[in-house]
Structure 1
Amino acid sequence: MNEQTVAGRETAEHVVRTEVLTGGPAHALAGLIEVPEPAPGSGLPPLWHWVYLLDRPPRSAQGPDGHPVTGVPRPPGPGRRRMWAGGRVRRLDRLLVGEEATRRTFVRRSVDKQGSTGPLTFVTVAHEISQGGRVVVDEEQDLVYRAATAAGPGAPESAEVVPPEGEERRIVVDPVLLFRYSALTYNGHRIHYDRDYARDVEGYAGLVVHGPLQALLMAEAARARRPEVTAVEFDYRLVSPLIDHQGLVVSAVAGEDGALVTRARDDSGRTTATGIWRPLASA
């Protein structure tokens, strides 16, 4: 991309949110992705904290793309488009439903670069979720803000369909799934539910499947293989946009040193996200 670092920024700004974790969001998420609800007292599975402790800005704080223009992180400038590039999640212990939890959010680092299509800002947002006086989830999310140019043509369409093999799981992606996940996570980004906006403004070939949804489904594929693990680290990357009509298949296979290698792909076999799921020593 011919990028050149322009400046780096550090900020101490942070947001703290506290709430009692109720069973409703977990029940809704389990139904959405069609997996059993967590057993009472077992704690939320890895990444399920994404449906809790959410920011809910007023409508007046939303930009034309549906993203907030205030808060943490704050867009680096008007008209910049946000993309979720990946992240790292350390689930150190069970996050229990029915108890109070606190999330502290802050920008860990921000770096400006110049790309071939214009300015880019790479932002790492940190979330620390505490319960019972100690950190239970330690997370970093990697975001990219780019200039308001249309997206590229995307991956070429392929008539060949690669059917799921072995332990691969195919998820039916449709506008209802994407809308419900957006609603459950309070994600207003219009590329996930407004087809005209996604196509005519941001240049995608259809509705965009959420990167976090792909990461969550990869983590679920890993959890299905190692359900007994309490403490886990999940490192994931979103490598290519996935459009709703392209299909979604996820998998987790054995890697080195007890890790599981996860993958999300479309129906043609094109990889759209990858991850490494590693058990940790119990806290």
Structure 2
Amino acid sequence: MATGPLLPTHEQIMVDKWSRSVAGHASEPQLDRMDARPLALLDQTLRPHLPSTYPPVADAAGSPMPPAAHLVYFPSPTQEPHLAPDGYHADEAPPPPFAQRVWAGGQIEFAPHNPLRVDSVSSQTRTIVDVTTKDTAQQQHLVFVKLKLQISNHSGLCLTECRDLAYMKPTDLRRAPVKHNKSPDFTHALIPSEILLFRYSALSWNSHRIHYDAPYACSVERHPALLVHGPLTCTLLLQLLHANMPQHFALKSFDYRAIAPAYCQQRMTLNGRWIQSQKPTDSSTIQCELWASNNEDGIAMKGVATLVPTPSSLL
């Protein structure tokens, strides 16, 4: 059942009823082969927007896949007539009037000893684990849906991803920019293009119209331009980390939050800062703060990545 500040009574009743019908029900496992072709296309899509230090992607069978590559696998089987009007999954959305959706953040827990590997057959389950309500400082009612995905291969669990999706009544999402007061240890600037957004939408089978349908994004949801996907920003930050990863370390987790929108054809800056005083070189667990800034130098997304020594089996 939805918990948190009470919505207007009739809306609360509808959200509670919907929550009871969906929460805790795991989907049937969905199988997919981690074929090298989508991985190569993802690399072709992202590499022009990444620093020159980004390493080549190993696509031979059995090679560990780069972080967040799983986002372009396990395409949704939902047919177009069953999608919501905004093009996204209707089964993850609360009832009207909460029709406007944003990717609010998430957590990814990796299994460094058992990464997803190229050409392996893996399975994914999806579960809505929680529905909560919240009021913002602007007295705006929000419904948060927490979705958990678990991906396994023949050796066991590879990763668990929790996605925090926020649903609201139609509103203007622009806010005063929140600045970051720390200097990065490494940084990279890019301008997200329409082609980048379109190709990522196609690869991730993401039909949310705010990422490719400019008339819809601007006229219906009142954005100034196409929005950069939350998962794309997350992916770019993890690829920036991958380009600056100390030797013999593996990504264990990434916990992040979306703060403000980032828009197509507007400058975005990716930043990383080692939480230690200097770039680590020993074998202890280390952490790196990652954040993306928008064209107003406000934080679009921020999070903390945890790295652990690479398991000896992968060295």
Query: How is 1:31-42 mapped onto 2 (pairs within 5 angstroms)?
Result: 31-34=44-47, 35=54, 36-40=56-60, 41-42=62-63
Q: Could you say if the C-alpha distance between residues 112 and 5 of structure 1 is closer, same or farther in structure 2, counting changes exceeding 3 Å?
A: same
Match of 1:13 in 2: 25
1:100 aligned to 118, 121, 130, which one? 121
The residue type equivalent to 1:13 in the other structure is H
The residue type equivalent to 1:4 in the other structure is P
Q: Could you say if the C-alpha distance between residues 205 and 102 of structure 1 is closer, same or farther in structure 2, counting changes exceeding 3 Å?
A: same
Three-state SS of the structure 1 residue aligned to 2:265 is helix
Q: Say whether residues 1:220 and 2:239 are aligned partners.
A: yes
Task: List gaps (5 residues or longer) in structure 2.
Answer: 48-53, 178-182, 277-284
Match of 1:229 in 2: 249
Pairwise CA distance, 1:90: 0.9
Larger Rg: 2
- Compare 98-107 and 116-125 and name the one that shifted more: 116-125
In structure 1, C-alpha distance between the alignment counterparts of 2:235 and 2:160, rounded to whole Å: 16
Computed over aligned residues only, the root mean square deviation of the Cα atoms, in angstroms, reads 2.4
Match of 1:120 in 2: 142
Q: Alpha-carbon deviations, 1:2-28, whole Å to 9, x = none?
A: x82567756221222012211111101
The residue type equivalent to 1:238 in the other structure is A
TM-score (norm 1): 0.87
Match of 1:267 in 2: 295
Give the count of matched residue pairs. 270
Q: Say whether residues 1:247 and 2:253 are aligned partners.
A: no
Three-state SS of the structure 2 residue aligned to 1:252 is strand
The residue type equivalent to 1:260 in the other structure is C
Q: Could you say if the C-alpha distance between residues 221 and 153 of structure 1 is closer, same or farther in structure 2, counting changes exceeding 3 Å?
A: closer
Query: How is 1:94-243 mapped onto 2 (pairs within 5 angstroms)?
Result: 94-114=115-135, 116=138, 118-147=140-169, 149-154=170-175, 167-226=186-245, 228-243=248-263
In structure 2, C-alpha distance between the alignment counterparts of 1:231 and 1:199, rounded to whole Å: 37
Residues 191 and 264, structure 2, Cα contact 8 Å, conserved in 1: no
In structure 1, C-alpha distance between the alignment counterparts of 2:258 and 2:249, rounded to whole Å: 24
Pairwise CA distance, 1:133: 4.0
In structure 2, C-alpha distance between the alignment counterparts of 1:117 and 1:29, rounded to whole Å: 40
Residues 237 and 291, structure 2, Cα contact 8 Å, conserved in 1: yes
Pairwise CA distance, 1:279: 1.3
Three-state SS of the structure 1 residue aligned to 2:286 is coil
In structure 2, C-alpha distance between the alignment counterparts of 1:264 and 1:100, rounded to whole Å: 33
Three-state SS of the structure 2 residue aligned to 1:204 is coil
Pairwise CA distance, 1:253: 1.6
TM-score (norm 2): 0.78
In structure 1, C-alpha distance between the alignment counterparts of 2:59 and 2:37, rounded to whole Å: 14
In structure 1, C-alpha distance between the alignment counterparts of 2:142 and 2:130, rounded to whole Å: 14
Pairwise CA distance, 1:211: 1.1
Instruction: Kindly indicate which of the two structures has a greater share of residues assigned to strand.
Output: 1
Q: Which runs of 4+ in 1 moved over 4 A?
A: 5-10, 114-118, 152-156
Residues 42 and 94, structure 1, Cα contact 8 Å, conserved in 2: no
- Taking only the aligned residue pairs, the percentage that are identical comes to 26
Match of 1:29 in 2: 42
In structure 2, C-alpha distance between the alignment counterparts of 1:267 and 1:58, rounded to whole Å: 36
Pairwise CA distance, 1:55: 1.1
Task: List gaps (5 residues or longer) in structure 1.
Answer: 157-163
Q: Say whether residues 1:49 and 2:70 are aligned partners.
A: yes
Q: Alpha-carbon deviations, 1:189-229, whole Å to 9, x = none?
A: 11111111111110111111111111111111111222643
Pairwise CA distance, 1:57: 1.2
